[in-house]
C-alpha cells in the first residue's frame, strides 16, 4: 500500500531567516497522524537565508543526517569537527551520549536548501561520532545509490539502526527497482522534480509511506532527486 502525503500538506514554519516544511511533527507543528514512520522521525525541508543559521544547541541519542540540495551548509560541533557540506555531500551525526553543534549558511549572499533527517537509534549512550561522504551525481544517476546503512558497506555512512537509505537521480527513461523484504516498510521522499513511484505520480516535497509491498519501481523522472528509506515494519 502506498499512502501519499502531498508537499503542501506538510507543516510549515517561517522565522524569516528560516523557512521549513515538516514532513512529521516537529517543534511547534504537531499532527497526531504524522509522528514519524517506523524509525524515521523527522524530515525537515529547510531553506536558510544568507549569513544565518542555527546557533549551538544540544542533541543526544539521535541519528541526524543532512542532505544539501543547493548552497553550502557550515557545521561545527563539540567534538571539534568543522566542515562545509555542499550538494552531493551526506553528513551523519550520531549524537549518542550528548553533543552540541551549530549549522549556518556558509554564504553571505545565497540561500542554502537542505534536508535535515532524524532516525531513532537502536542503542543509547554511545560515543558521539561524525561522518561525511561525497556521492557524485554519476553514482546516483538512474539508480538508487546506498548512502547510509548499519554496516556502512560500499562507501555508505554507518547508522545505529536497522535502516538503509538510498539516493537517486532520474530523468526520462531512467528507472530503478528496489526489492523490499517481507515485513519491511519504506518511505520515499521526492527532494526535487517529478517522478512516478509504482505507478503513482509524485512531485517535489511529496512523501510516501510504503507498507505491504514487495518492491519499489521508480521511473519517468523529470529533474527528480529521490531519497528512499528501507525501514523496519511500521505496523
Beta bridge partners of 111: none
Q: How far apart are CA 127 and CA 78, in angstroms?
A: 12
Per-residue pLDDT, 21:
98
Q: Map out the domains of the chain with their CATH numbers.
A: 2-231 (2.60.120.10)
Q: The dihedral of CA 217, 43, 40, 38: what is its sign?
A: negative
Under 8 Å between Cβ of 180 and 226: no
- 168: closest CA among 144, 186, 138, 135? 144
Q: How does pLDDT run across 1-19, given as a tens digit for each residue?
A: 999 999 999 999 999 999 9
pLDDT at residue 55 tops 90: no
Per-residue pLDDT, 30:
95
Per-residue pLDDT, 126:
95
- Spell out the residues 6+ positions from residue 223 whose beta carbon is closer than 8 angstroms to its own: 171, 192, 193, 194
Under 8 Å between Cβ of 180 and 216: yes
* CA geometry: angle 57, 70, 165, nearest 5 deg: 70
Per-residue pLDDT, 20:
97
Per-residue pLDDT, 29:
94
pLDDT at residue 57 tops 90: no
pLDDT at residue 218 tops 80: yes
> Mean pLDDT across the stretch 196-200?
98
Q: How confident is the model at residue 67 (pLDDT cuts 50, 70, 90)?
A: very high
Residue 75 grid coordinates: 557545521
- 35: closest CA among 43, 26, 25, 20? 25
The pTM score is 0.96
Q: How does pLDDT run across 116-165, given as a tens digit for each residue?
A: 999 999 999 999 999 999 999 999 999 999 999 999 999 999 999 999 99
Per-residue pLDDT, 54:
86
Q: How does pLDDT run across 16-35, given as a tens digit for each residue?
A: 999 999 999 999 999 999 99
Q: How does pLDDT run across 72-126, given as a tens digit for each residue?
A: 998 888 888 888 999 999 999 999 999 988 888 999 889 999 999 999 999 999 9
Amino acid at each position: 500500500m502506498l499512502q501519499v502525503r502531498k508537499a503542501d500538506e506538510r507543516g510549515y514554519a517561517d522565522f524569516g531567516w528560516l523557512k521549513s516544511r515538516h514532513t512529521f511533527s516537529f517543534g511547534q507543528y504537531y499532527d497526531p497522524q504524522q509522528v514519524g514512520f517506523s524509525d524515521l522521525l523527522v524530515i525537515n525541508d529547510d531553506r536558510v537565508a544568507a549569513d544565518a543559521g542555527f546557533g549551538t544547541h544540544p542533541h543526544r541519542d539521535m541519528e541526524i543526517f543532512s542532505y544539501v540540495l543547493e548552497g553550502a551548509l557550515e557545521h561545527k560541533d563539540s567534538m571539534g569537527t568543522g566542515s562545509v557540506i555542499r550538494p552531493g555531500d551526506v553528513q551523519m551525526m550520531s549524537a549518542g551520549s550528548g553533543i552540541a553543534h551549530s549549522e549556518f549558511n556558509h554564504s553571505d549572499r545565497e540561500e542554502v536548501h537542505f534536508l535535515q533527517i532524524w532516525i531513532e537509534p537502536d542503542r543509547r549512550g554511545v560515543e558521539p561520532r561524525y561522518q561525511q561522504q561525497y556521492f557524485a551525481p554519476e553514482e546516483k544517476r538512474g539508480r538508487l545509490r546506498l548512502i547510509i546503512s548499519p554496516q556502512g558497506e560500499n562507501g555508505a555512512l554507518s547508522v545505529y539502526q536497522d535502516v538503509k537509505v538510498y539516493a537517486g537521480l532520474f530523468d526520462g527513461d531512467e528507472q530503478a527497482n528496489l526489492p523490499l523484504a517481507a515485513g519491511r516498510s519504506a518511505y520515499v521522499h521526492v527532494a526535487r522534480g517529478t517522478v512516478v513511484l509504482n505507478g503513482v505520480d509524485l512531485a517535489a516535497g511529496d512523501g510516501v509511506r510504503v507498507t505491504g509491498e514487495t518492491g519499489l519501481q521508480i521511473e519517468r523522472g523529470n529533474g527528480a532527486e529521490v531519497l528512499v528509506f528501507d525501514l523496519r515494519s511500521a505496523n
